Amino acid sequence: MDFDWTYTFKLFWSRDFWTATLLVVELSLASWTISVVLGFLLALARQSPVLVIRKAASAYIWFFRSLPLLVLLIFVYNLPQAFPSTSAFLSIPFVSGLIALVLSETAYIAEIHRGALLAINRGQYEAGHVLGLRKFGIQRLIVIPQALRVALPALGNEYISIVKLTSLVSVISLAEILLVGQRYYTQNFKVMETMLAVAFYYVLIVTVFDTLLKMLEKHLDFSRKATALSGSVPMATTAETPITATSLEKPSHPAIHLDAGGKRFGDSVVFANLDLTVAQGEVVSIIGPSGSGKTTLIRSLNGLETLEQGVVYLNGRAFLAGSEERLSATLPRHGCEMLEIGMVFQSFNLFPHRTVLENITLAPRYHHRGSKAEIQAAARATLHQVGMLAHELKYPHQLSGGQQQRVAIARALAMEPSVLLFDEPTSALDPETVGEVLRIIADLARSGRTMVIVTHEMKFALDVSDRVIFMEKGQIAFNGSPEALRQQLQQGDRLSEFVRL
């Protein structure tokens, strides 16, 4: 075989090739980084509630995914013919190449981000919302870190495609690796030897960056993270200190009051003209058959569901108004009011990419509730209350369901809300772990907190509540003390039928 290996090996030390390699790295990294950022914005635009923005984003993606990169490159590079004022920067091949690559790659990467965003559970957004985080905060602290982890393998793949696509930029005379190779073999006709060197440089770049991306992927993979144990933290696994009474004064107005609330999904009315009043320090349990509207009612109290009619008053102030109420436009955008209401979800909705301690401190740090040390000390005290201090450095996936729910309770308590909402807090738990969560909630109930609990645990509801509400078909069929409920049960009506189920 007539193959000049010596010549090929010499090309591995060629200054021209190394300069071209550096150029390819710069161009591909710049294109990828800009496209990752713009692609994310485009993916958000693609999900925008505003139709025009959504359509414009879709049109962009459709157009630039349809256009071959080579056509785009030549078009951008020659744009100064139509617009001479652009020649100052578009006549530079690196700039034209970068613009064409970004225009094209943003469309592909937006779809990768969109897939990752769709993979984030709605509960993550809701958990951020009830902790009073604004839209940007939810994206920055909760959604982007998780979406990035989901998208990273595909984004890494896209980087590799970009490295290879840079070879097309040779068409506009950018001295990248392929063009350097072409210049060499047109002088000496050693095509195979030169192309082997060209291949070497591309493979080198891809291998180095593939390894780096895999390392980053591993670093971001919280599901593989082992728990480090802190020696400075006192270990406690059970709640050792009783949950202290809140120092809330008892003003005359109710803690929370829904006035004539109405909610429907499409044509299906969940409830209409519904009133609910919860006094300061009162514990109210809402029971009722599946589909009676309990969850929708409790979620309407903090804006997770938008009411059509009615007004929610929080500590005497109008807080939320139905979309069809004239008052809705004049209400302050619920910022600090939101922090007055804590919520514990059926499916916990802990942030999986953050440790137990970080789950608790996220909202207080976001809302600047003190120095980092103060916030952490308070978070540890709350974790101690729920018997989870020993697990502060674990990630949620390393905990049992009951432990996760106890952390979720601690997270809600960390913002010191005046009202706590529980949406079926034990429904997702194994029968063995239900008790540990109910004990914590019962302790909270005894401490004088205002609480609204949607539950299927009848005995628990009767034992801890000041008042029990029985909902059926969107209406309050019973509203009274546990004693009154027990008496009613003697009568053998629909309520007693349900409670005995």
Ligand X SMILES: Nc1ncnc2c1ncn2[C@@H]1O[C@H](COP(=O)(O)OP(=O)(O)OP(=O)(O)O)[C@@H](O)[C@H]1O
Q: Which residues bind ligand X (CB under 6 A)?
A: 265, 270, 288, 290-296
From the CB of 294, what's the least distance to ligand X, in Å?
4
Token pair recorded at residue 32: 């990828």
How many Å apart are CA 72 and CA 74, to the nearest integer? 6
From the CB of 323, what's the least distance to ligand X, in Å?
15
From the CB of 298, what's the least distance to ligand X, in Å?
8
From the CB of 281, what's the least distance to ligand X, in Å?
25
Q: Which is nearer to ligand X, 249 or 267 (CB)?
A: 267
Q: Which is nearer to ligand X, 288 or 322 (CB)?
A: 288
Q: Which is nearer to ligand X, 181 or 310 (CB)?
A: 310
Q: Which is nearer to ligand X, 294 or 334 (CB)?
A: 294
From the CB of 370, what's the least distance to ligand X, in Å?
37
How many Å apart are CA 246 and CA 143, to the nearest integer? 33
How many Å apart are CA 455 and CA 286, to the nearest integer? 6
Summarize the chain as % helix, strand, coil (round to 5). 60, 15, 30
The closest of 368, 439, 444, 363 to 402, measured between CA atoms, is 439
The closest of 106, 118, 99 to 60, measured between CA atoms, is 106
Q: Which is nearer to ligand X, 129 or 294 (CB)?
A: 294
Token pair recorded at residue 76: 């951008």
From the CB of 299, what's the least distance to ligand X, in Å?
8
Q: Which is nearer to ligand X, 164 or 456 (CB)?
A: 456
From the CB of 204, what's the least distance to ligand X, in Å?
52
How many Å apart are CA 272 and CA 265, to the nearest integer? 12
Q: Which is nearer to ligand X, 294 or 380 (CB)?
A: 294
Q: Which is nearer to ligand X, 299 or 380 (CB)?
A: 299
Q: Which is nearer to ligand X, 296 or 403 (CB)?
A: 296
Please identify which residue in the block is written with the tokens 């429907």.
Answer: 264
Q: Which is nearer to ligand X, 179 or 454 (CB)?
A: 454
Burial class from Cβ neighbours inside 10 Å (0-12, 13-18, 19+) for residue 203 reads exposed
From the CB of 431, what's the least distance to ligand X, in Å?
18
Q: Which residues contact 196 (CB under 8 A, 6 or more apart)?
A: 8
Q: Which is nearer to ligand X, 295 or 355 (CB)?
A: 295
How many Å apart are CA 336 and CA 363, to the nearest integer? 12
From the CB of 426, what's the least distance to ligand X, in Å?
12
From the CB of 293, what's the least distance to ligand X, in Å?
4
List strand residue ranges (DSSP E) for 91-241, in order: none
* Half-sphere exposure in the Cβ direction for 189 (13 Å, CA): 1
**Sign of the torsion formed by the C-alpha atoms of 204, 206, 209 and 215:** negative
From the CB of 491, what's the least distance to ligand X, in Å?
23
From the CB of 470, what's the least distance to ligand X, in Å?
11
What DSSP line would sit under 244-267, residue for residue? PPP-----SS-SEEEEEEEEEETT
Strand 341-344 with 317-321, pairing: unpaired
Long-range contacts of 132-139 (CB under 8 A, 24+ apart): 132/335, 132/336, 132/338, 132/339, 132/363, 132/366, 132/367, 132/415, 133/363, 133/366, 134/335, 137/366, 139/44
If you count them, how many residues does the chain have? Answer: 501
Q: Which is nearer to ligand X, 254 or 293 (CB)?
A: 293
Q: Which is nearer to ligand X, 190 or 456 (CB)?
A: 456
Give the CA-trace dihedral at 158, 159, 161, 164, to 10 degrees: 170
Q: Which residues contact 122 (CB under 8 A, 6 or more apart)?
A: none
From the CB of 290, what's the least distance to ligand X, in Å?
3
| Contact yes or no for 253/316 (Cβ under 8 A) | yes
